[in-house]
Structure 1
Amino acid sequence: MSTPTLSAAGLRKHYGRVTAIDDADFEVLPGEVLAVVGDNGAGKTSLIKALSGALIPDAGEIRVDGEPVRFRGPLDARRCGIETVYQDLALAPAQDIATNMFLGREPRRPGVLGGVLRAVDRARMREQAQQVLDELGIKIKSITQPVETLSGGQRQGVAVARAAAFGSKAVIMDEPTAALGVAEASKVLELIDRIRERGLPVVLISHNMPQVFDIADRIHVHRLGRRVGLVSPRTHDMNEVVGLITGAKEAA
């Protein structure tokens, strides 16, 4: 088995007497879609926050390509090539698509304009943004149109494209199809498949079991703050995974 791109061992996080993460383990392999499933309150969000730098665990270790790392914030995780698409998408509705894709990472124009005046290279932003959208097959009328003019599925596509453009190690997606219709959700799953084809692993947090079994290579089952199972859709059926989520079934 290849070295996990992103992994964790023995993660713990306590809030007073409440245990959010309880000796949790995690791993995602190169080029796979790993689904993280669990009931509400199982600790999935806390785990993902730790892996994306938004939460500092009390104990345990996180590794990127087998090397120990310590994230003191989301920027540290981004510097390591880990991008996260949250449910709120973190988009600026009034700004255009290219600007949203480069939020906080705007390239500067060459020479004195970029050095002294800090002028943004908008032509470069639009060119590179359009290239990523084309590679992922995201159809947008114009790269300069405001995000607020896009449909829900298109907005999700922009957020996913931003993560794919800057994520060099892993892309984490938190319920990316939760607020979408059937057709738009299907397009998002196609985007996830295209990212996997590029060799970039995807961590998919989802409650939608049919989608999980449709797209995931492996399924990480989280319960009571820890991983209670790591199974394959090829060897386990949906009822078995639901049993692990609820505690009605023990992992082999």
Structure 2
Amino acid sequence: MASNPFNLSGRRALITGAGQGIGLALARALAEAGAAVVLNGRDAGKLERAASLLRTGGYSAEIAAFDVTDPEAVRAGIAAVTAQGDIDILINNAGIQRRAPLQDFPEDTWDELMRTNLDAVFYVAKSVARHMIPRGRGKIVNICSVQSELGRPGIAPYAASKGAVRMLTRGMCADWARHGLQVNGLAPGYFETEMNRALVENPEFSAWLCNRTPAGRWGRVEELGGAAVFLASDASSFVNGQVVFVDGGMTAVV
């Protein structure tokens, strides 16, 4: 093992949903550890702005704009990315949240949520793994959630999608570990992001969250970086099929 097993120098990482929020924070963390990062999303302009922020800090950042919910677009997008170099690390981060009472949840919204949160993880990981397997190495990190483990009113479909990602992560381990791949999950708790802005600005919800979480506060997106680097690096060479919860202790207590 290298003298610094957390060093990602010489590695190339693809991060989906990387135009903002958690995805961009994870891209920055991997870049700071030495990786060249490729930012994915549907909005090329947003991706270019995010990449420029990283380049300003002296990091290597490319963009790859394609829709992860479209299997044909994924195949073409991954082919284009790999034509420029190997993908050593994949972070499956793209995701959405939709809230409604379960009895009123629209079927088309269910389909949209599952395509983004679950189907896309399968499409992208499968396409990338087909390149990793012949090389006998690769790191895949699927972004799960505390809702992989816990339910809350109004978000049952989201919890179902993230629970499925947790089990898909284990399935990927079962199929691909023998080929030298490590596939793990990273499960954030409640973090201050654009997707959670309405909850952050809701005094009643924030008070509940701070009382419910042993750490007593919202998470900051940069606090996910250390766990992501660990799972993307040689430091986790015998960690496989696991989900690391970064939640301020929420899932540890009742």
TM category, shorter: 0.3 to 0.5
The structure with the greater share of residues assigned to strand is: 1
- The one of the two structures with greater contact order (alpha-carbon pairs below 8 A, sep at least 6) is 1
The structure with the greater share of residues assigned to helix is: 2
Higher CA-based Rg: 1
